[in-house]
Amino acid sequence: MDTHLRWTKRPHRLVRVLVAALGGLSLAFGVTGYAHAEPTPAELEAQIDKKWNEVEPIIEQHNHLKAELNNNKAKQKQLQNQILPLQLQVDNALTRVSAFSVMQFKAGRASSFNALLTTGSPDTFAEQLMMLNMLAKDEQARIKDVLAAKKAYDEQKKPLDELIAQQVEQEAAMAQKEQQINAEIKTLNEMRVRAYGSGNGTGVLKPVACPVEYTGGPGAKAAQTACNQIGKPYVWAAEGPGSFDCSGLTLYAWKAAGYTLRHYTKWQYQDTKRVSRADLKPGDLVFYYSDLHHIGMYVGGGWIVHAPTSGDKVRMKKIDDGPISGYGRVA
């Protein structure tokens, strides 16, 4: 079985973690007020960052699940296409046997067909067919091989069908939680607005030229594309062009440069070459936190562009504003 399929053995634990994280948001902030009276902007930002880091890994797992579900549906369709001609051969064989049985009945020799016509079981059909010496031996061998092949495909498809049913249920549960997540984060963002003011100008989102450095090549193209998205809203699981999440932004920017990334931070880590901090150049990816649940694009001068949190916008920030786990180069 595909190793990716084992991921689904943890659906209920993942949903419980999500509920616990969201419950933590409510306990910390409530619906309408601050956790503490008149927190300073720095205190508020620290609380928002802390709580968002509890939720963002769940969002990235949702991206992972949706990609796995689409992949498994493609496998399911491929198996179904392989099974279909075998099923047609079985149906044609049954039609021939049925016609032959009518002939035998009219001739008064129907007793040997009773078991075949009443069982309805493909698994025993080949054995029964071979007992009927009235059919040619080559027909017996042909239908036996077809049934064996169809049974093999059915055995492969059954666990895949069950897995897809589980993943569909998980994905639906996560989608229902999206509305709750957005409501919680909206409350946090309203607190941020009250603490910092509207902050809608590009001076806040883009405090310096972006990209800071221009080196040419595909990395520079990707960096320029990321810079051009500054000001667009963060939306869970979005990959452009009007909104983005963190791995969706880097996917979109590198797609404009002619390269394909998968929509999941850990996959993007796997699909890139490790580089050192000293060797960074615009277009390189910067991965944050020990579980790699956040990502940004280096644009030079010690700055990255990233899609930070729900309720926020694509913006620049200093590269060291968060624990870095590694750096990756696409091209």
Is 246 in the active site? yes
Is 62 in the active site? no
Buried b (16+ CB within 10 A) or exposed e, 135-152: beeeebeebeebbebbee
Catalytic entry in 62, 64, 263, 306: 306
Rounded to 5 degrees, φ, ψ at 270 are -65, -35
Catalytic entry in 64, 227, 246, 293: 246
Is 210 in the active site? no
Cα–Cα distances (Å) from 315 to 22, 141, 229, 312, 330, in that order, read 25, 68, 8, 9, 21
Catalytic entry in 62, 64, 263, 294: 294
Q: Which residues are catalytic?
A: 246, 294, 306
